[in-house]
A and B are shown apart, each in its own frame.
Chain A
């Protein structure tokens, strides 16, 4: 167990050192959401009605969840690259804790997600977003988001190991995440959607997390959303972490 922790920290550190040296990923990962914020706030926002809440306050939690779910891309592409460059072989030939390569990779994502979240909150504040809740609730929302992002890093870790190339990891992830983020409460009220989409948006875990964050940050009634968001995140980790680790153990370099 101690080996698992120390080895995970070594790998986390490795991934964080790399980050500023290959800034393309981080850049895409922060600039694109800012463009989304501006697009929805100033282009579509005028046509979208969110009774009782200014659209910018409705929007920011939605965009952050979308961004954080996509944050696992860094893991998928990075792991896929490691497989192709033979680094996974190197790690697997070392007497290190088996899950550490994946645990360290996903842990590094928490940091990139926190950076992206900060950038988006600052952008939001500049264009009119503000918190309407006690600090503890705001922090609770941040933690729920980071947990959700961490859960999706495990989904992407699995995708990154299974996919044959970084490009296919990219498209598998995109195809899976895209409907989840758009058929949700991220950008519009689900009640405005046709019945089947409305139903999907209501059961979609993204909506749970988005609603939980809105409730915690804007001082709205939370209902079951906060604990459902946490349960969903843990369930996703419980399914995908063992899948990814099992895949890693028998990974054959291609």
Chain B
């Protein structure tokens, strides 16, 4: 798996549903053994993209290859080499955890005994061994997701599609899921992970592709993307809101852009590197501005997303959940 060929090659893939253009010409290469995070808001086309690569849906135009096999012409070959774990935990609720994995193993062509052995191995790996003989109906949301992921790994596929693996999970299960995915990736599997959570992409992905309105609008590592929107951000919280104007005027020379105000907080995208805080404090005290708090931070993926697309990545509801994480 260490050749130069990309594990997944996508060229000009398009797909519409009636009037809605879900994918408007996607080009993407994914190198073997990396985690590519496909980041985008709800409705950006992430799931459609994964479904096309997983041979579940045909593209209207363009082509896609997985490990050199065309997803339409060589669909059967592609299916032998991929694992799919979806947004909705696709396991049978009326079977036990073990029965689910044995079923999937046998559908990959293993004997009952081989499938059972692999099933136990995976259940142990995902800390589900105690629940192996319990019907999935009784599992928690996090346990279902782990079982779903285990089912995707039954045949040890070299390519894995994870479509929003933590959407809808509580923060604790989510962190558990992240740990599981990280362990997996250490094993050299090529992973295409879709997510609408910036922190998830930041933590898990080697490379991030930002998708919006059916097109990849930026690609790079988390740091590369952050560098694209420039330097650091200075946030100044004022004692007195009426001094906002004064503070803005005092800080304006530090940036090429107009400082922004939100409540008591003035935000400035600073040009220089180093000495920023000292410089800011000097300018503010000369102007007689009372400062409650002052901080300097690198841009987050949130800022990147906002800059690239003109809108925030996450739905307001999702953001609220995030606050508890």
A-side residues, CB < 8 A to B, are: 3, 6-7, 10, 13-14, 17-18, 21-22, 85-87, 89-96, 100, 250, 252-253
0/1 string, B166-187, CB within 8 A of A gives 1: 0000000000000000000000
Q: Are B56 and A93 in contact (CB under 8 A)?
A: yes
Q: Are A95 and B76 in contact (CB under 8 A)?
A: yes
Q: How far is the CB of A163 from chain B (nearest CB, A)?
A: 19
B-side residues, CB < 8 A to A, are: 51, 54-58, 76, 79-80, 82, 84, 86-95, 99, 103-104, 106-109, 135, 151
Alpha-carbon separation in the docked complex, A96 to B110 (Å): 11
CB-defined contacts of B99 to chain A, threshold 8 Å: 14, 17
Alpha-carbon separation in the docked complex, A70 to B197 (Å): 46
The interface residues of chain B, by DSSP majority, are classed as: loop
Q: How far is the CB of B189 from chain A (nearest CB, A)?
A: 16
Alpha-carbon separation in the docked complex, A30 to B58 (Å): 42
Q: Are B94 and A21 in contact (CB under 8 A)?
A: yes
Could you jot down 10 A-B contacts, CB within 8 Å?
Answer: A3-B109, A7-B106, A10-B103, A10-B107, A18-B92, A89-B84, A89-B86, A90-B151, A92-B55, A100-B107
Q: Are A86 and B89 in contact (CB under 8 A)?
A: yes
Q: How far is the CB of B298 from chain A (nearest CB, A)?
A: 38
Known: A10-B107, A21-B135, A93-B55. A87 touches B94 (CB 8 A): no
Contact of A95 among B58, B79, B90, B92 (CB under 8 A): B79
Alpha-carbon separation in the docked complex, A13 to B92 (Å): 13
Alpha-carbon separation in the docked complex, A90 to B91 (Å): 8
CB-defined contacts of B107 to chain A, threshold 8 Å: 7, 10, 91, 94-96, 100
Q: Are A89 and B95 in contact (CB under 8 A)?
A: no
Q: Are B56 and A89 in contact (CB under 8 A)?
A: yes
Q: Are B89 and A93 in contact (CB under 8 A)?
A: no
B103 and chain A: residue at smallest CB distance: A14
Q: How far is the CB of B242 from chain A (nearest CB, A)?
A: 55
A100 and chain B: residue at smallest CB distance: B107
CB-defined contacts of A96 to chain B, threshold 8 Å: 107-108
Q: Are A18 and B86 in contact (CB under 8 A)?
A: no
Q: Are A95 and B108 in contact (CB under 8 A)?
A: yes
CB-defined contacts of A3 to chain B, threshold 8 Å: 109
Q: Are A86 and B109 in contact (CB under 8 A)?
A: no
CB-defined contacts of B57 to chain A, threshold 8 Å: 252
B99 and chain A: residue at smallest CB distance: A17
Q: Are A6 and B92 in contact (CB under 8 A)?
A: no
Q: Are A92 and B56 in contact (CB under 8 A)?
A: yes
A19 and chain B: residue at smallest CB distance: B94
Q: How far is the CB of B79 from chain A (nearest CB, A)?
A: 4
B161 and chain A: residue at smallest CB distance: A93
Known: A89-B90, A95-B79. 10 other contacts (CB 8 A): A18-B92, A21-B94, A85-B90, A86-B86, A89-B86, A92-B56, A93-B55, A93-B82, A94-B79, A253-B56
Candidate in B76, B94, B95, B151 with the most chain A CB atoms within 10 angstroms: B94
Alpha-carbon separation in the docked complex, A96 to B51 (Å): 17
Alpha-carbon separation in the docked complex, A10 to B135 (Å): 18
Q: Are A14 and B95 in contact (CB under 8 A)?
A: yes
B47 and chain A: residue at smallest CB distance: A253
Q: Are B92 and A14 in contact (CB under 8 A)?
A: yes
A7 and chain B: residue at smallest CB distance: B107
Alpha-carbon separation in the docked complex, A85 to B54 (Å): 17
B48 and chain A: residue at smallest CB distance: A252
Q: How far is the CB of A185 from chain B (nearest CB, A)?
A: 38
Alpha-carbon separation in the docked complex, A210 to B91 (Å): 40
Alpha-carbon separation in the docked complex, A40 to B109 (Å): 50
CB-defined contacts of A95 to chain B, threshold 8 Å: 76, 79-80, 107-109
CB-defined contacts of B79 to chain A, threshold 8 Å: 93-95
Of all A-B residue pairs in the complex, the 7 with the closest CB atoms, nearest first, are: A86-B90, A90-B90, A18-B94, A86-B88, A95-B79, A96-B107, A93-B84
Known: A17-B99, A95-B109, A252-B57. A90 touches B84 (CB 8 A): yes
Alpha-carbon separation in the docked complex, A22 to B93 (Å): 10
Known: A18-B94, A86-B86. A94 touches B104 (CB 8 A): yes
Alpha-carbon separation in the docked complex, A218 to B107 (Å): 45
Q: How far is the CB of A19 from chain B (nearest CB, A)?
A: 9
Alpha-carbon separation in the docked complex, A91 to B108 (Å): 10
Q: How far is the CB of B104 from chain A (nearest CB, A)?
A: 7
Alpha-carbon separation in the docked complex, A250 to B135 (Å): 30
Candidate in A10, A14, A90, A94 with the most chain B CB atoms within 10 angstroms: A90
Q: How far is the CB of B307 from chain A (nearest CB, A)?
A: 34
A3 and chain B: residue at smallest CB distance: B109
Q: Are B84 and A85 in contact (CB under 8 A)?
A: no
Q: Are B109 and A90 in contact (CB under 8 A)?
A: no
CB-defined contacts of B109 to chain A, threshold 8 Å: 3, 95
Alpha-carbon separation in the docked complex, A91 to B54 (Å): 11
CB-defined contacts of B106 to chain A, threshold 8 Å: 6-7, 10
Candidate in B51, B58, B94, B107 with the most chain A CB atoms within 10 angstroms: B107
CB-defined contacts of B135 to chain A, threshold 8 Å: 21
Q: How far is the CB of B86 from chain A (nearest CB, A)?
A: 5
Alpha-carbon separation in the docked complex, A3 to B82 (Å): 19
Q: Are B54 and A93 in contact (CB under 8 A)?
A: yes
Q: How far is the CB of B82 from chain A (nearest CB, A)?
A: 7
Alpha-carbon separation in the docked complex, A36 to B151 (Å): 44
B107 and chain A: residue at smallest CB distance: A96
